[in-house]
Structure 1
């Protein structure tokens, strides 16, 4: 069975610093908001809806990042081939509010700390997503400092 999802690396600028939104899931691992595509939605709409549902934050898509593929086994549905499209998303409004059925907590970290947290307690299949977001945001910061 194939499952299509979308999500995003959400960021905001605070003065000369960039903060990245992370979630701690019910397995106590750090990740980024994502979820299943609903009928009639574009992947961009799915990403923005899931980000808001899971974190309380509204955003706008800046650019696509990458697609991640993995498989897992669901006790009820069996073998699942999952495809997740990730975007870089700028936070525009909202207050952090975790969707408690799925998430333990939601929090902002500065760019470097978010990268470190992903390396230490994130899912390996998010490494490339974070790498691309980190590279883009680091170059954004460097150009803003000039």
Structure 2
């Protein structure tokens, strides 16, 4: 029997003095990542994304648009094979201050778009490349081709 697990999160952005900034977290494994977490009973996927972003980073957000869904399988010691779906949204920061949920993540910070891309490429999970690239594209930020080379 296969178990399906739904998670949701987002690429959070803001404009600080007219300059676009993107939020990245450092997860408990020391990897650059995006805030996300498991859906709870009674929640919509969008509510999950906004709750997880707020819990992990302290930021209250508003969904601008869907970005994409990452799907993969992994083996859970008790559940067996799990089909995992992670739904990502582009989320505008509307309130709150950066406060990392230290039980879940090590750090959270704002970065200019190309800096965020470089951090993702050098220390992030490969399957998040497409998410960050699509989110930046929705924000009308395009990655130069020479930035596609892993560091």
Tell me, yes or no, whether TM beats 0.5: yes
- Identify the match of residue 118 of structure 2 among 116, 135, 139: 116
- Identify the match of residue 68 of structure 2 among 41, 66, 76: 66
The answer for unaligned runs of 5 or more in structure 2 is 142-151
- List aligned pairs for 1:11-26, cutoff 5 A: 11-26=13-28
The answer for unaligned runs of 5 or more in structure 1 is 140-146
Please give the TM-score of this superposition, normalised by the length of structure 1: 0.91
| Counterparts of 2:75 and 2:31, CA distance in 1 | 18
Please give the TM-score of this superposition, normalised by the length of structure 2: 0.88
| Counterparts of 2:64 and 2:57, CA distance in 1 | 18
- Measured against aligned partners, the alpha-carbon deviations of 1:73-95 in whole angstroms (never above 9, x if no partner) come to 33343322110110000000111
Mapped pair 1:8 → 2:10: yes
- Measured against aligned partners, the alpha-carbon deviations of 1:87-145 in whole angstroms (never above 9, x if no partner) come to 00000011111111110011111111001111111111111111111111135xxxxxx
Q: CA deviation at 1:4?
A: 0.3
Find the residue that maps to 1:135 and give its secondary structure.
helix
| Counterparts of 1:73 and 1:113, CA distance in 2 | 34
| Counterparts of 1:98 and 1:71, CA distance in 2 | 28
